Amino acid sequence: MRVRILSGILSTKWVKGDHSSVGRALFCGRRCREFKSHFSPIATLNQTIKKPRRKPIKKSSVPAFNGQPIAKGICLKIVVRKPKKPNSALRKVAKVRLSTKKTIDAYIPGEGHTLQSHGIVMVRGGRARDLPGVKYKCIRGKFDLLGVYDRKTSRSKYGRKKS
């Protein structure tokens, strides 16, 4: 199909030799080439009778929790990692064995921490964007991981009471 714009009106013409069972290549101008599919976004009645449309299954962003919002675990070791390219720091990551019997890496937010090996920690979902493979965060102020000392702003995120 050849596409021409004549004084604001879009005219189309099929290109010879362009046969496809799925769709056709559209030419808009000299260089631009666009693919137009024959498939309608709405299924026909015969299509739905033969095979109904299925909704895609949503994949969990926190697979180690088995459907729980948070999980308790035992810290195996504390690791210091460097973040991805534009950022530069030493991020503290805890290797945690969860109550669901799965081992994960969880980011420890805030400045300084009291977590050691064999310490009990609560873990929630939420990835550290500049650490590849770290999909979980430790909850401050719960069990062996104390809140951030002398925190004034955003205290609820870092487990600090009003002082």
Instruction: Supply the pLDDT for residue 9.
Output: 53
Cα 131 to Cα 68: distance, rounded to the nearest angstrom: 23
Domain 63-157 has CATH 2.40.50.140: yes
State residue 67 phi and psi, 5-degree precision. 85, 0
Cα 157 to Cα 16: distance, rounded to the nearest angstrom: 64
Residue 30 CB neighbour total at 10 angstroms: 6
C-alpha pair distances (Å), 7 with each of 1, 10, 11, 13: 19, 8, 10, 17
Residue 123 binned pLDDT confidence (cut-offs 50, 70, 90): very high
Which residues make up the CATH 2.40.50.140 domain(s) of the chain? 63-157
- Residue 67: CB partners within 8 Å, gap ≥ 6? 60
Q: Is a pLDDT exceeding 60 seen at residue 103?
A: yes
Does this model's pTM top 0.75?
no
Predicted confidence (pLDDT) per residue in 24-40, tens digit: 555 555 566 665 666 66
| Residue 20, SS3 per DSSP | coil
